[in-house]
Amino acid sequence: MKTHVVVGGTGGTGTALVSELRGRGLPVRTVSRRGGSGSDGVEAVAADACDAARMRAVCADAAAVYHCVRPPLPVWRSVYPEVNRSLVTAAGAAGAVLVFADDTWMYGKVDGPMTEDLPSRPVSGLGVMRAWMADMLLAAHYRGDAQVVVARAGELYGPRVDSVLAGSLFGRAVAGRKPMWFGDPDQPITPTYINDFAQGLASVAADPEAWGEVWHVPHGAPITGRAFAGVLCGQVGRAAGVRTLSSRTAKMLGLVSTVARIGSEVLYQFEQPFVVDSSKYHKRFDADATPYETGIAETLAWYRLNGGKSLMIPSS
């Protein structure tokens, strides 16, 4: 059986994906700069994803190569293009499908649910970068350089996830503090549970008829930030309530933090409806999103065991 190679396998998305693939009985190889010790059924390899020759060797026996790389925001422009080229070359040489773990920043300011056929109209530097990356990879697919499929998620939450919904909500709640919401807490949003993202990545990889397309992974029905935080508060046994922070205030924090300044570019999503429509995925794969109550409970359990820090930027 050919191997499933998760590049960026030690991050939040990569870790969830490894668990999903192992649950399907598939052999897995994780790739990161540090490598690691691996585990039952998982081989850990140290490699730089920008090194095309090294990645070609690492992925030589791959059935699928999962692009879960997430470099620090300040180096996106220099690192991501090289990673894309490297992984297209590696997947193409192996005859493997390249699965890109993407987000929704390229859609820009929309006035309705986000669907896969929306044009890319980014309003931020990060959104421009995301649009370019997806276009680059899909162009490689249609040139025949490699088989490619793109899976997109909205704002993530769950174990090991760094995002607006991570420390600012779960970390604060576990620490006995009022959860913090960036933007308007009464706008509808469809948070993406990390395990649903992993399920989506694995499912589109396994279906050749899905390749060459963009897919929104499973999302639940819209909920407001206030209601989401209310479920969280109920599970930690405190009165419902959320502290709000505007994107304007977040931008001011950028005066003292490069990461906050860059990340604040996409906080506009939380001041308008942020609804990801995944009906295309649900129809093809007959899969439902994890209920918010379940995802919140599992995330809280992880935070209670591991703690967490408040982050002020969204994450893919």
In a shared domain, residues 207 and 66: yes
DSSP 107-126: G-S-SS-B-TTPPP---SHH
Does some domain include residue 91? yes
Amino acid in the structure at residue 178: K
For the chain, the domain total comes to: 2
- Chain segment 127-159, per-residue pLDDT in tens: 999 999 999 999 999 999 999 999 999 999 999
Q: Is residue 282 part of a domain?
A: no
For the chain, give the percent of residues with pLDDT over 90.
72
The confidence score (pLDDT) of residue 247 equals 65
What is the C-alpha separation between 132 and 217, in angstroms, rounded? 20
Residue 139 falls inside a structural domain: yes
In a domain, residue 134? The reply is: yes
- Entry pTM: 0.93
Q: Are residues 204 and 248 in the same domain?
A: no
Name, in order, each residue with C-beta under 8 angstroms of 125's C-beta and a sequence gap of 6 or more.
Answer: 262, 265
Instruction: Decide if 173 is inside a domain.
Output: yes
Report how far residue 135's alpha carbon sits from residue 233's, in angstroms, rounded to the nearest whole number: 40
Residues 260-294: pLDDT tens digits?
A: 555 678 888 999 999 999 999 999 998 899 999 99
Range of the domain at 171: 158-191+221-275+290-306
